Amino acid sequence: MLTIVFDLDGTLIDTAPDLIATLNHILARQRLPVIPYEAARPLIGGGARGMIERALAAEGRSCSPADVDRMYSAFVAHYAEHIAERSRPFPELEATLDRLAADGHRLAVCTNKLEWLAKRLLEALHLAPRFAAICGQDTFGSLLKPDPQMLRATVGRAGGEPERAIMIGDSATDIRTARAASVPIVGVDFGYTNVPIAELRPDRVISSFAQLPAAVADLAPAKT
């Protein structure tokens, strides 16, 4: 049995529509220009605060930490109410999760989203029961990816061991996390990174979840 740990935004779920709508709602409230969808998509990752800070930097804006704190609080409140309006699982996800579970693997989520938001999203999409652990930026105190301990702790929360784990992600942050934890990493090429995932050199790259079971089998450590 392996523990297969998924990133959330841009890996399991296409959350960009609701995240970008919330970001632009917050920017408009601050009388700042909204950001076109395609330009905003690569800003996703690292949590909502990072997304806000990157959006401000992209517009050449400087805000005090207190202002960013207020924008972040408003973002979380608005996003929580609109979290699954247009966010949807990527194609073939559910059938693939069924296949992995049937093969005896345990599944987990390791995200820099707040844990309660991650759970709310997955519950709204009827996916939460599939995962043995759903861990976010506040689950283990101040741990955030790319700190490898966040991945190790998620694997442990799911009942597994890092030596028999594989991570699935879409970003440089996910790859750095897995590398630091000595865990194999499968990169998906349909996520939010603005650098082609193959250039980040994960162990395998997939373009569809239908390709994931074969990649997992290929990367699985030998049983001892």
Distance of CA 89 to the CA centre of its chain: 12
Of the candidates 192, 201, 193, 10, which has an alpha carbon nearest to the alpha carbon of residue 111?
10
| Residue among 7, 18, 170, 174 flagged as catalytic | 7
7 a catalytic residue: yes
Residue 53 corresponds to which tokens in the numbers above? 């800070």
The angle at the Cα of 158, spanning 213 to 143, to the nearest 5 degrees, equals: 105
The angle at the Cα of 141, spanning 140 to 144, to the nearest 5 degrees, equals: 75
How far is Cα 24 from Cα 165, in angstroms, rounded to an integer? 37
Decide the pairing of beta strands 3-6 and 165-169: parallel
How far is Cα 64 from Cα 173, in angstroms, rounded to an integer? 26
| Residues taking part in catalysis | 7
